[in-house]
Chains A and B, each alone.
Chain A
């Protein structure tokens, strides 16, 4: 409890004692209400004060004003012989108890979300003259060497310079299996070092390290509001004045038209006022979304805003990139088919031509070749997106790329005889043969598609730049509904736009990619989901939802969290409106009392908050 909350608790207790004392004094008569004033002012002075100040500011229909009016009104009806004085004090007392509980519960859930995201490192160890010194991570520069002892959190991104250990990445990915790292491996800030001592050469300053990016993203997520949230604030703007006006009408019209019974109707109107505060709704909706986003981030699913969570719950079309998303993205050279030279020559030629590219295909060629490209052998490399690479290798013009590339160059190539990606090579304008590179689907890819279908996704589509045979065989193996192959990056955007036109209204389309080359598609889709956020800045920038590990099965989980959060939001809206509506109706008919009204206001808010906190908990599998 904060100091402010403790003070309020004290005031509640003192006021309660004063109230009991006042009830026990046996004085009856018109001045009896004076006995209750000490208790009333102890608990309610700030409410009264704020009500007056706010009216001065032109804020008429706020909750302070409503509570002040309701309780002062209760005193007046008591004075004229109808209501009871204790009721006025009790209403204020109960209101403050409810407010206290609200602020406690909200503070608590704020803290538990902050704990979930407790990945901010406090210090980094730097060795100076053989002694370890603790330094603020923000003071570390690129190239510095830091030491991470077992049990400590890695403060900055870097590469292991010395030592081997296993890392706990659970805080980032939700993955419980530790990751083994050794010399030369990249490590991500936010992971916990489990076993061995690591010396890490820092590769990014603190502000650009993964941990800062993630924290920034989660903290900013609350500024992107969901439709439900905007609806509620808009609703609140009309609801309160409307109820206050009906209260006024209820107090004045029936006695004027029907005659007599002022006090009774005024009492009913006061009950209206107590119920008119929209706080339960206004508080519980953002709290639910906040909880949902917090729970998702614990699973390694980063959601950039409540609006994306809302959109994901309605996704019925799911479009996938193939490479690196549904497949491992690790290409291996599976076959070499040279024409007029040896296999090694062809492989060397292709690997050197592609040596400047970071494309997965290029990497697999380099890997298969198994040598470091000697400087100077390859020059003038030029990457042609969706086609291939052109470079000077040992002074000869080498082109390596897909069939389209060869056709454009006017070179006839041999038909590919093996399932996989063919890299055709031409040397000085003459065909030199091709290499086949194959990729495997991820282990959980087929299961992920099945889960999504079970979760209500109507259409699953795969887009790939790959050849038709490869794309179609992968799509069939994984059970996708449709596949479009041999697409250039720009054509992927066109395909997604066409699919956006086709989808049912009120449903959404999500695109899942790995963040490499598909940033335009990620931003064009209703929801862009990027995979493998660990290490890829492009993915974190471009996407709306980032999966920290490479598992497509996390998408179904994200959808589950989104749906559950939305269900909780809906429950809260309906529950709060129903109770309030019921009490309004009953009190208009004179069937409810002040107690029920206070419950409808504060009690409902508390229950809605408790319900909203469920969104934080995500069942582990």
Chain B
């Protein structure tokens, strides 16, 4: 399943790249891109565990930039 999320207060381009790397390493994530310009996260992940994977993604992003929020 592929889903798009808006990201609020994604302020630094380097952080976006770091988040992208962190998300890609999460188990069950097939493909992920964090676009700094569009302030948008695109995730392709296993259907059955999508919500659980999203929780992990939010946690991973908080680690990189605590102020940034993913609108779910």
**Scoring B residues 30 to 54 as 1 if CB is less than 8 Å from chain A, else 0, what string do you get?**
0001011111101000000000000
Q: Is B3 an interface residue (CB 8 A)?
A: no
Contact B42 A220 (CB under 8 A): yes
**Scoring A residues 53 to 65 as 1 if CB is less than 8 Å from chain B, else 0, what string do you get?**
1100111001100
Q: Is A32 an interface residue (CB 8 A)?
A: no
Q: Is A50 an interface residue (CB 8 A)?
A: yes
Residues from chain A with a CB closer than 8 A to the CB of B64 are 57, 59
Complex CA–CA separation, A66 to B33 (angstroms): 26
Contact B13 A223 (CB under 8 A): no
Residues from chain B with a CB closer than 8 A to the CB of A53 are 66
Main secondary structure of the interface of A (DSSP, over half): helix
> Chain B: which residue is nearest A230 at the CB level?
B17
Q: Is A219 an interface residue (CB 8 A)?
A: yes
Interface centre among B17, B21, B39 (most CB of A within 10 A): B17
Contact B13 A50 (CB under 8 A): no
Main secondary structure of the interface of B (DSSP, over half): mixed
- Report the minimum CB–CB distance from B29 to chain A (whole Å): 14
- The segment from A281-289, A335-343, A410-418 that touches chain B is A281-289
Q: When the two chains form the complex, which single residue of A220, A222, A286 contacts B13, counting CB atoms closer than 8 Å?
A: A286
Complex CA–CA separation, A528 to B39 (angstroms): 27
Complex CA–CA separation, A63 to B13 (angstroms): 11
Complex CA–CA separation, A225 to B21 (angstroms): 14
Complex CA–CA separation, A106 to B11 (angstroms): 10
**Scoring B residues 1 to 28 as 1 if CB is less than 8 Å from chain A, else 0, what string do you get?**
0000000010111110110110000000
Question: Which of the four size classes fits the interface of chain B?
Answer: 20 to 34
Contact A233 B37 (CB under 8 A): no
Contact A279 B12 (CB under 8 A): yes
Contact B14 A59 (CB under 8 A): no
Contact B17 A222 (CB under 8 A): no
Contact B63 A58 (CB under 8 A): yes
Contact A236 B12 (CB under 8 A): no
Residues from chain B with a CB closer than 8 A to the CB of A224 are 33
Residues from chain A with a CB closer than 8 A to the CB of B18 are 59
Contact A222 B37 (CB under 8 A): yes
> Chain A: which residue is nearest B11 at the CB level?
A103
Contact B11 A283 (CB under 8 A): no
Contact A286 B14 (CB under 8 A): no
Q: Is A453 an interface residue (CB 8 A)?
A: no
Question: Which of the four size classes fits the interface of chain A?
Answer: 20 to 34
Residues from chain B with a CB closer than 8 A to the CB of A283 are 12-14, 36
Complex CA–CA separation, A54 to B33 (angstroms): 22
> Chain B: which residue is nearest A114 at the CB level?
B38
Q: When the two chains form the complex, which single residue of A63, A219, A233, A286 contacts B40, counting CB atoms closer than 8 Å?
A: A219
Residues from chain A with a CB closer than 8 A to the CB of B42 are 220, 223
Q: When the two chains form the complex, which single residue of B13, B35, B37, B63 contacts A59, counting CB atoms closer than 8 Å?
A: B63
Q: Is A308 an interface residue (CB 8 A)?
A: no
Complex CA–CA separation, A95 to B37 (angstroms): 21
Interface centre among B12, B14, B64 (most CB of A within 10 A): B14
Contact B14 A290 (CB under 8 A): no
Given contacts A53-B66, A282-B17, A286-B13, contact A225 B33 (CB under 8 A): yes
Residues from chain B with a CB closer than 8 A to the CB of A63 are 12, 14
Q: When the two chains form the complex, which single residue of A57, A110, A236, A277 contacts B37, counting CB atoms closer than 8 Å?
A: A110
Q: Is A441 an interface residue (CB 8 A)?
A: no
Contact B11 A233 (CB under 8 A): no
Complex CA–CA separation, A236 to B18 (angstroms): 10
Q: When the two chains form the complex, which single residue of A54, A113, A282 contacts B14, counting CB atoms closer than 8 Å?
A: A282
Residues from chain B with a CB closer than 8 A to the CB of A225 are 33
- Report the minimum CB–CB distance from B2 to chain A (whole Å): 10
Q: Is A44 an interface residue (CB 8 A)?
A: no
Complex CA–CA separation, A63 to B12 (angstroms): 10
- Report the minimum CB–CB distance from B36 to chain A (whole Å): 6
Complex CA–CA separation, A492 to B42 (angstroms): 35
Contact A222 B63 (CB under 8 A): no
- Report the minimum CB–CB distance from B52 to chain A (whole Å): 21
Complex CA–CA separation, A287 to B36 (angstroms): 9
Q: Is A552 an interface residue (CB 8 A)?
A: no
- Report the minimum CB–CB distance from A291 to chain B (whole Å): 9
Which A496-517 residues have C-beta < 8 A from chain B?
none
Interface centre among B18, B37, B38, B66 (most CB of A within 10 A): B37
Residues from chain A with a CB closer than 8 A to the CB of B33 are 222-225
> Chain A: which residue is nearest B34 at the CB level?
A223
Q: Is A78 an interface residue (CB 8 A)?
A: no
Complex CA–CA separation, A53 to B64 (angstroms): 10
**Scoring A residues 110 to 130 as 1 if CB is less than 8 Å from chain B, else 0, what string do you get?**
100100000000000000000
Residues from chain B with a CB closer than 8 A to the CB of A58 are 63
Residues of A within 8 A of B (CB): 4, 50, 53-54, 57-59, 62-63, 103, 106, 110, 113, 219-220, 222-225, 233, 236, 277-279, 282-283, 286-287, 290
Task: List 20 A-B pairs, Cβ < 8 Å.
Answer: A57-B63, A62-B15, A103-B11, A106-B37, A110-B37, A113-B37, A219-B38, A222-B37, A222-B38, A223-B33, A223-B38, A223-B42, A225-B33, A233-B14, A233-B20, A277-B14, A282-B17, A283-B36, A286-B13, A290-B37
Q: Would you list the 4 A-B pairs with minimal beta carbon distance, nearest first? A: A222-B35, A233-B17, A283-B13, A223-B33
